[in-house]
Chains A and B, each alone.
Chain A
């Protein structure tokens, strides 16, 4: 009996290990998705990566070519990676400053060049809009836009990137629609 139980446990372990990672899910029709504290309309035809638990990530042609990420985090957690401190009274320009620092940190191997940093109204909240570019170690140029804002509880970041050639300009309107549709729930 005990031996059978051990065999069963081993078998279960093997089966769990063999289980495929969750695959990309196609968004067939324009879809309203909810995060813990937000709601957003996702574009039809794009794909969502359910493996990404920290943020909502979607792409049309694959993460190497373009992607949109939506992140929500508490003030305490939002900039932990760079030991940055966000507070409920943070100014939009200060939030942009921390977000840029975080982005530079994420792309440490590349050189992030800021093209424009302006205030922006997102979901009725005063926030920021960063436009930047970077080059990978293999020489591929990317451009990105980050829109973000803070409420008294949370920090919201909506990020878009794509290869400078073709993908970034082509899918920028889609990103703008996603940003337009973004709403904080429970306010």
Chain B
């Protein structure tokens, strides 16, 4: 029998020991039901405390969208997906323009208003909420922390044992948020929960496709929600594969109630986008359809505003056309008259400008920008234009 030198035997023994220890340490069990939702070790206790602190601090800011009815409705979707965790998973709507949703290790889930506004129905939001809840139920935060700890320890000993490159590689991968495998697991759990809850799983593919398209057309890095997720296209393919292996029996879409409950947040999100000069997302949302679901009949006004802000060649004409269509579709909606008035003011068509600006003030006498409008009208009456 071949005799290995003592140092080599020591390295092999150390390597075996670390592999055994790390295998033991990473056995984080998912929560099976509400009965075993508890903190199991010191790391877990720390994670929960941090999450509780985050919840507490965020509740004192104005970032939580103040619509209790909407929150209760979304909570109902979560409870329908996870009836075995009633009371453990809590949803909040977070006012923000980025397409994001996230789960904390204590069961708090936050969905951004912008992401909510991209969904057409309850089934579409269900795949997102189900995915985030899966991170909590499958305890992905704890797994990641434990994995990071063990990876570093493991890597250090591997370096000792003469395999130096494994250390940085493992450390980096554990620092990059949830792995692709973890995100795929969350997608699978969410998909299965959708079926059990009676939602139409076809909608999950539709919303993922839409988000993939928006990501591509915005011409920038993927939104934060997806930056650590498998790329959207891969996720669409993965969901399609799940559907082939487990054909969806159809199910609820829940469009009507969803659109009604999210009508205000949909408009607020779009106005916030425009107020930050994020015209691209508005053009993408409204530019393709003559009747996008869930938007009021005056939606073309917002499209016109987006074209005006973009101000590329031909956008002035597109904006004017959109405003004119908005006036026809919703003659009572005041802001369109202001937009038309300002359009004609810049075109030095003083008669039309004055007429539309006056109509705006008649319809919205308490408008926040009335001082500007009165100033413009005064100048027009003096024959000064601008």
Interface residues of A (CB under 8 A from B): 79, 82-85, 87, 89, 91-94, 97-98, 100-102, 104-105, 111, 113, 117-119, 126, 135, 139
Contact = CB atoms under 8 A, between A and B. Distances in A.
Contact of A92 (B63, B276, B309, B372): B372
Given A91-B342, A117-B369, A118-B371, A101 B275 contact: yes
Interface residues of B, number: 20
A104 B346 contact: no
B57 to A, nearest CB: 8
B142 interface: no
Given A104-B276, A117-B368, A119-B371, A111 B63 contact: yes
B61 interface: yes
A101 B273 CA distance: 9
Contact of A135 (B61, B275, B368, B375): B61
Given A82-B276, A82-B277, A111-B62, A91 B346 contact: yes
Contacts of A102: 277
Interface in B347-380: 368-369, 371-372, 375-376
Given A104-B276, A105-B276, A111-B62, A84 B369 contact: no
A119 B373 CA distance: 9
B8 interface: no
B309 A84 contact: yes
A84 B280 CA distance: 12
A118 B369 CA distance: 7
Interface string B44-80: 0000000000000000111100000000000000000
B350 to A, nearest CB: 14
Contacts, number: 52
Interface of B: 60-63, 95, 275-277, 309, 311, 342, 345-346, 368-369, 371-372, 375-376, 386
6 closest cross-chain pairs (CB), A and B: A101-B277, A93-B372, A82-B277, A85-B311, A119-B375, A118-B371
Given A82-B277, A101-B275, A118-B371, A89 B346 contact: yes
Contact of A98 (B61, B277, B368): B277
Given A91-B345, A111-B62, 20 more contacts: A79-B277, A82-B276, A82-B277, A83-B277, A85-B309, A89-B386, A92-B372, A92-B375, A93-B369, A97-B275, A101-B277, A102-B277, A104-B275, A111-B63, A117-B368, A117-B369, A117-B372, A118-B371, A119-B371, A126-B386
A89 B311 CA distance: 13
Contacts of A97: 275
A91 B386 contact: yes
A97 B375 CA distance: 16
Contacts of A83: 277
A97 B62 CA distance: 22
B342 A93 contact: yes
B61 A101 contact: no
Contacts of A93: 342, 369, 372
A31 B59 CA distance: 46
A101 B276 CA distance: 4
A93 B373 CA distance: 9
B335 to A, nearest CB: 13
B271 to A, nearest CB: 12
Contacts of B386: 89, 91, 126
A113 B368 CA distance: 14
B372 A118 contact: yes
B265 to A, nearest CB: 16
7 contacts: A84-B309, A91-B386, A94-B342, A101-B275, A105-B276, A117-B372, A139-B60
Contacts of A101: 275-277
A60 B342 CA distance: 41
Contacts of A135: 61-62
A100 to B, nearest CB: 7
